[in-house]
Amino acid sequence: MTSGREKFGAFIRREREAREIGLREMAKKIGVSPTYMSKVERDEFAPPTEDKVRSIAQILECDPDELLAMAGRVPSDLADIIKRHPVEMSALLRTANGLSAEELVRLSREAGKAKGK
């Protein structure tokens, strides 16, 4: 099994059709050719660059971070954050790995408190 998760292309096709946007219209808004869009939506081509994925997220009104994850990309601002404190952030992420979504939210709140001081 490649992944239990839905593929990037399949997801955006479904969401696009749900919003009754044509493939050509979508392609135009993003700034790519319809052909390319078609191949991406059928997962025949890899997902496009970060800026285009963000643009898609905006059009489909879905979370950019989630869509970028589906695209197999780390949001560039997160990459920058990690770069500022590589050792501590790596440790944090590795420890946070395996926590549930709820626990992660709690942890974020904890971080927010430290910051708010």
Angle CA 44–61–30, to nearest 5? 50
* DSSP 8-state symbol, 5: S
Stretch that binds DNA, among 32-40, 56-64, 84-92, 108-116 (CB under 7 A): 32-40
Nearer to a second copy, 11 or 27 (CB): 11
Of 40, 41, 38, the closest CA to residue 15 belongs to 41
Cite the DSSP H helix spans in 1-117: 8-18, 23-30, 34-41, 50-59, 64-70, 76-84, 86-96, 101-116
Q: Is 31 in the site for a second copy (CB under 8 A)?
A: no
Nearer to DNA, 15 or 45 (CB): 45
Q: Report what 19 binds from a second copy, DNA, none; CB cut-off 5-8 Å by kind.
A: none
Q: Is 48 in the site for DNA (CB under 7 A)?
A: yes
Q: Is 29 in the site for DNA (CB under 7 A)?
A: no
Among positions 88-117, residues that touch DNA (CB under 7 A) are none
Q: Is 78 in the site for a second copy (CB under 8 A)?
A: yes
d(CA 103, CA 80): 24
d(CA 89, CA 96): 10
Q: List contacts with a second copy (CB under 8 A).
A: 4, 63, 65-66, 68-69, 72, 74-75, 77-79, 81-99, 101, 103-108, 110-112, 114-115
